[in-house]
Each structure stands twice: as C-alpha cells, then as structure tokens.
Amino acid sequence: MIMSCLTAEVVWNLNQYDLCSFLDLGYFKPQRPVIRFYVPSFIGYTNRHFCNSAQVFSSISVTGSTCALNCKHCNGILLQTMQPAISPQKLYTLGLKLKLAGVRGVLVSGGCLVDGSVPFDEFVGVLGQFKHELGLTVFVHTGIIGEQSAFLLKQAGADAALIDVLGSQKTIQTVFNTNTTLTLQDYRVSLKSLHDAQLGVIPHVIVGLNEGKLEGEFNALKIIKETLNPAALVIIAFMPLPGTDMAQTPPPHPIDIAKTVAVARTMFPHTPLALGCMRPKGKHRAQTDVLALKAGIDAIAFPSPEAIEYVKKNGYKTTLSSYCCAQLYQDFKL
C-alpha cells in the first residue's frame, strides 16, 4: 500500500534518487492482480509476446488532416494517421465499411478550432448510428467542449469521452497556436460539462509538452481531481515527431513520466490508470514502461517486451486487447 505520508505534493517534490527508492521498494506498485495491455489495430504491433488483430479498432478524424491550432508538437501529422471523414455522409459510409470489415470499435477525433474545440456537433447523429445501428463501441476524443455538445454526445450513446488536460498556461502559449483563446479554465469547464452529461470521462495528461520538461502536469491532475471523479485516467508523453516544429526537442525523461504516474496513483488510488500510446519508442519506451509499472500503472498501450517480461516475472496476470486503452474503464469492472 502507498504510505499515508506520501501525499501527491510530497511525491511531486521528491528528488530523483528518493523517487527511485520508493519505486524500487514497491510503494506504488499496482494493487490489482491483472495488468492489461492494449494494442489497438490502427497501429500494427508484433513482438515475441503478442500480435494484435487487424481490423478490430479504428481511428477517424472528422476534419481530415486539418487543424486550426497546428500545434508545434504535432503540426497535424498525428491526424494523418487517422482515417478521414469530413462530412456526416462520409463518416457514415466509412463506419459501414469498417463494420463490414469486422471492426468493432472506433476512436473519433479531429483537428481543433482556435478555441481548442473539435467540430463534432454536425456528426453526432452519425455517431448515434454507429452505436445503435452498427453496434460499434464509440470513443470520442473531444477537445474543449461545452454543455450542449457534451449532452449531444451522451444522447448519441458515446461510450466514453477522452480529453487532453493541460495544467500550464505557459505551455499553452508556447506550444499551441499563438491565436488560440484557450485557457486553463476551459479545461475545467469541459470536464464539468462532460461530467454533467453523465459521460464516462477519461482525461489524458501529457508529460513533457513544455520542451520535454515538467511544467503543469501536477496542476493538470489537480484540475481533474477538483472537477470530477474520472472513469479512468491516461498518462501520455511528448514524443518528437519528424516534420514538426519540435522534431529536435528532447522527450521527457522516463523518470519524469514515472513521477507523474506515481502522483496520479497517489491522487487517484482506485481509478484505473493507463500509460497511453503516445510516448517515445525504443529504449526510452522500455525504461518508461517498467518505471510506470513500479509507479502503479494498471494498463499499457503498445507495451514494450521489457514491460511484458517485468509483469510476468512479478506474478501478475495479463490480458491483451485490440481496443483503445480507454476501454480499461469498462474492463476493470469485470
């Protein structure tokens, strides 16, 4: 069990040596007997342990590759990895095509307007058809959202709402488009809107978006804590992408990602906690994954072989799903 003296603020202020000591002593280790691995089929995944299933879960952008924010860490490149559907008719046609191909769930997102919102409202009717006519699991990555739009998503039957939460105005001003009107209060309003609509809310906290350094992650977790009890919580990390303005910016150190996980675990002791798919690869991922497990993570998207071996060595059971890791909020109810 986590020591009662280790408050979230104490953990956040631990130096690297002390944090590593607590991690190695097992103060944050997962309390659930099962570690869940998620390998959604919109990205191929094969190693000596697991191979994901093709055409089970897909990602869709309702704005194609267009994003008014055009943030320095992404420049719309992440949207290019998603299937475009820029009108309700095209969205329905794509959904039907995916269903016939055997897809069982979708993550629907898109680029942002300058206020940080994603223009979902005209697509809500089709999302309802996805759910009630095609029988698809529907996760929506919302961006900034108001009460009316959140209620429409609930009416459509969306299974969960995913939302990135930042805790630093400095990071917003540094990384996002200079024309954005986005403020920290917008995240509070969005979380409350989604909560009031009675949607399952799965906030995502991004580590190291401020040039690879910690800046506002603790505050992002506090904003979430003060606003709602999330259905699940996902920690992701800045990863330099070729072709972006931040391609040469170093990613956050794995121990900083682990610190954020440990603070989240301390602050939300009973909430399902996942390490999401956006994080650096290679040796960095191997180190991050193992440290995150020591810090109390319950689930990992696209786990490194080292993470899988660590889990098995330490006696945890494992499951593998080709769904998005947002599914953990339901899986941990089983």
Q: Report residue 5 as tokens.
A: 């003296």
* Mean pLDDT computed over 304-313: 95
In this model, does residue 21 exceed pLDDT 90? yes
Share of the chain above pLDDT 70, in %: 96
CB neighbour burial string for 277-291, b if at least 16 within 10 angstroms, e if fewer: bbbbeeebbbbbbbb
* CA–CA separation, 328 and 211 (whole Å): 30
Report which of residues 46 and 162 the model is more confident about.
162
In this model, does residue 268 exceed pLDDT 60? yes
Nearest Cα neighbor of 105 from 334, 321, 333 is: 321
In this model, does residue 2 exceed pLDDT 60? no
Residues with Cβ within 8 Å of 246's Cβ and at least 6 positions away in sequence, in order, are: 72, 73, 175, 211, 238, 240
Q: Tokens 């994003």 belong to which residue?
A: 67
Q: Tokens 């602050």 belong to which residue?
A: 267
Give the model's confidence band at 206: pLDDT under 50 very low, under 70 low, under 90 confident, else very high: very high
pLDDT at 241: 95
* CA–CA separation, 321 and 334 (whole Å): 14
The values of phi and psi at residue 172, to 5°, are -60, -45
Share of the chain above pLDDT 90, in %: 86
Is the pTM of the predicted complex or chain greater than 0.85? Answer: yes
Q: Report residue 322 as tokens.
A: 């080709």
pLDDT at 44: 67
* Mean pLDDT computed over 118-127: 96
End-to-end CA distance of the chain: 23
pLDDT in tens, 209-232: 999 999 999 999 999 999 999 999
Number of residues assigned to the chain? 334
Q: Tokens 């909560």 belong to which residue?
A: 195
Give the model's confidence band at 1: pLDDT under 50 very low, under 70 low, under 90 confident, else very high: very low
Q: CB 258: neighbour CB atoms within 10 A?
A: 29
Report which of residues 212 and 50 the model is more confident about.
212
3-state secondary structure at position 175:
helix
Q: Report residue 273 as tokens.
A: 């906690």
Give the model's confidence band at 52: pLDDT under 50 very low, under 70 low, under 90 confident, else very high: low
pLDDT at 170: 93
3-state secondary structure at position 162:
strand
Partner residues linked to 35 by β-bridges: 318
Give the model's confidence band at 161: pLDDT under 50 very low, under 70 low, under 90 confident, else very high: very high
- Per mean pLDDT, which range of 114-123, 127-136, 175-184, 223-232 is the poorest? 175-184
Q: Is 110 left (phi over 0), alpha (psi -120 to 50) or beta?
A: left
* CA–CA separation, 73 and 59 (whole Å): 20
Question: Kind and range of the H or E element at 99?
Answer: helix 88-100
Q: In whole angstroms, how large is the CA radius of gyration of the chain?
A: 19
pLDDT at 180: 81
pLDDT at 178: 67
* Mean pLDDT computed over 281-294: 97
Give the model's confidence band at 103: pLDDT under 50 very low, under 70 low, under 90 confident, else very high: very high
